[in-house]
Structures are given as C-alpha cells and as structure tokens.
C-alpha cells in the first residue's frame, strides 16, 4: 500500500467571525491525483490556503509526509514539499521567466531543462519579463516555479481557469505527463471532463464540509447533479 502523503482531518476555519470550513477531511497518497471538488464558495480554496498555512485551522489536524504542520509557518510547509500554484498564478512580474524559475529552485530532479521540456514555450520566452507573458504562459510559469521547488505534492488551484482552449490543452497535457511520472497532485478545476479521467480519487465539499469521497467511477450523475450542479 502506498504511503499517505497528506492527511487533512476534520479542519474548521474562520475568516474573522464567519466560519468557512466546518469539517474538511481528505487524504492524498503518494503518486495519487486527488480532485477537490464542489460548487463555488464551498471551501476548496480555503482548504488549500489552510494546507499552505495562509489560513489557520481552529480545529482539526493536517499531517504532511508524517509531520503535523498545524503550527508551522507557510515557508516551512513549502520546504517540507508542498508546491502551490495559487489561483491567479502569481509570479514576480519584473523578473524574467528564467529568473522566476531560478528564484524558486531547490535541489532535486526538476532542473530548468526539465521544466523547459514540459513547457517549451517557457524556454522560447526565458528572457522575457513575466508581466509580458500571456495569461496561459504565466500559468505555465507558475506551474514551472512550483515544480522547480521539487515538491512532493503539487497543488493546483484552478490552473486552467480563463485560459484559451489551446493553452488549456497544453496545461492538461502537462498535468497528465506529471501524473505519469508519479507526481502526487491535489487539484481543483472546474473542467470535470478533463479532471475526472486523471483523478484517482475525488473529494466533494459542500458548505465547508467533506460530503463525499470516492473514485471517479463511483461519482454518479445523481451525485454530480446534487453537489457539483452539472
């Protein structure tokens, strides 16, 4: 049996006085792709923010690679091997593509060359400032940056949102290649037709709570209708 890389158990999170998470639990095993799903505002981004310690849980535990990370600052969690590609693809606007990648780099298999193999467009634009890239190229750079940290878990929050179809295809091709290489991935994406075929497990959130976990095969039309509004 593969090892559990990430275990989130029954976390509760508040934004000021208002409660956003009421009991989210999920697991990612090594080498798995886990899809975190649910309609808008159900708590997907808050769950990811909490994993990366940008929000603090008032209840529940988060273990990453065997370590309790509840009380750790976000840079320590990143160092343990959580590579976040946040919603909105933030990069250093006034650095070049290559400078962005180098700034994030840590020892490991993900060299600049390997990132450029995954996204040849980034190599073509390596001397260009990040703020002159198209939205899709910035997304590739955000994924490349996360990869150069050599993460044990890659976390993708709405990586294909708002992108042109051909760029979305390129991002999905890269995600599939990463899965094939055994990269563990926690992913939020609205495109179920792309997401479900690559997911090993799905976790559905409804009003800040995990309401269903299972394989994509077990996700019936009824469940999708009830929880995902499709």
Q: Which residues bind ligand ATP (CB under 6 A)?
A: 15, 18, 20, 38, 40-46
- For residue 191, the minimal CB distance to ligand ATP (Å) is 13
* Cβ nearer to ligand ATP, comparing 28 with 115: 28
Nearer to ligand ATP, 45 or 100 (CB): 45
Distance, in Å, from the CA atom of 35 to the CA atom of 205, rounded to the nearest integer, reads 11
Q: Cβ 18 to ligand ATP, closest distance in Å?
A: 6
- At its nearest, how many Å lie between ligand ATP and the CB of residue 199? 17
Q: Residue holding tokens 């009003």?
A: 207
Burial profile 20-33: b = 16 or more Cβ within 10 angstroms, e = fewer: bbbbbbbbbbeebb
Return d(Cα 99, Cα 93) in angstroms, integer.
Answer: 10
At its nearest, how many Å lie between ligand ATP and the CB of residue 230? 14
Tokens of 59: 């209840």
Which residue lies nearer to ligand ATP by CB, 47 or 100?
47
Nearer to ligand ATP, 41 or 162 (CB): 41
DSSP, res 131: G
Nearer to ligand ATP, 55 or 148 (CB): 55
- Find the shortest distance in angstroms from Cβ 164 to ligand ATP: 20
- The sheet carrying 33-37 orders its strands as 67-68, 57-64, 4-15, 18-29, 209-214, 201-206, 33-37, 184-188, 153-157, 82-85
**Beta carbon nearer to ligand ATP, 173 or 226:** 226
Contacts of residue 153, Cβ cutoff 8 Å, sequence gap at least 6: 5, 6, 28, 64, 81, 82, 83, 184, 185, 186
CB 117, min distance to ligand ATP, A: 31
């Amino acid at each position: 049996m593969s090892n559990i890389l990430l275990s989130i158990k029954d976390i509760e999170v508040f934004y000021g006085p208002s409660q956003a998470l009421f009991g989210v639990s999920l697991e990612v095993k090594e080498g798995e792709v886990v899809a975190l799903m649910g309609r808008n505002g159900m708590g997907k981004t808050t769950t990811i923010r909490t994993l990366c310690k940008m929000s603090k849980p008032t209840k529940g535990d988060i273990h990453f690679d065997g370590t309790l990370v509840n009380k750790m600052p976000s840079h320590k969690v990143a160092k343990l091997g959580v590579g976040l590609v946040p919603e909105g693809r933030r990069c250093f606007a006034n650095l070049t593509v290559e400078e962005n990648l180098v700034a994030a780099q840590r020892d490991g298999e993900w060299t600049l060359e390997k990132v450029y193999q995954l996204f040849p467009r980034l190599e073509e634009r390596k001397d260009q400032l990040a703020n002159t890239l198209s939205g899709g190229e910035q997304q590739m750079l955000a994924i490349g940056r996360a990869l150069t940290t050599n993460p044990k878990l890659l976390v993708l929050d709405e990586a294909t949102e708002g992108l042109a179809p051909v760029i979305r295809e390129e991002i999905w091709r890269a995600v599939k290649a990463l899965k094939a290489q055994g990269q563990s991935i926690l992913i939020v994406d609205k495109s179920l037709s792309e997401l479900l075929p690559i997911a090993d497990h799905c976790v559905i959130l409804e009003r800040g709570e995990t309401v269903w976990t299972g394989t994509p095969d077990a996700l019936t039309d009824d469940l999708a209708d009830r929880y995902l509004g499709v």
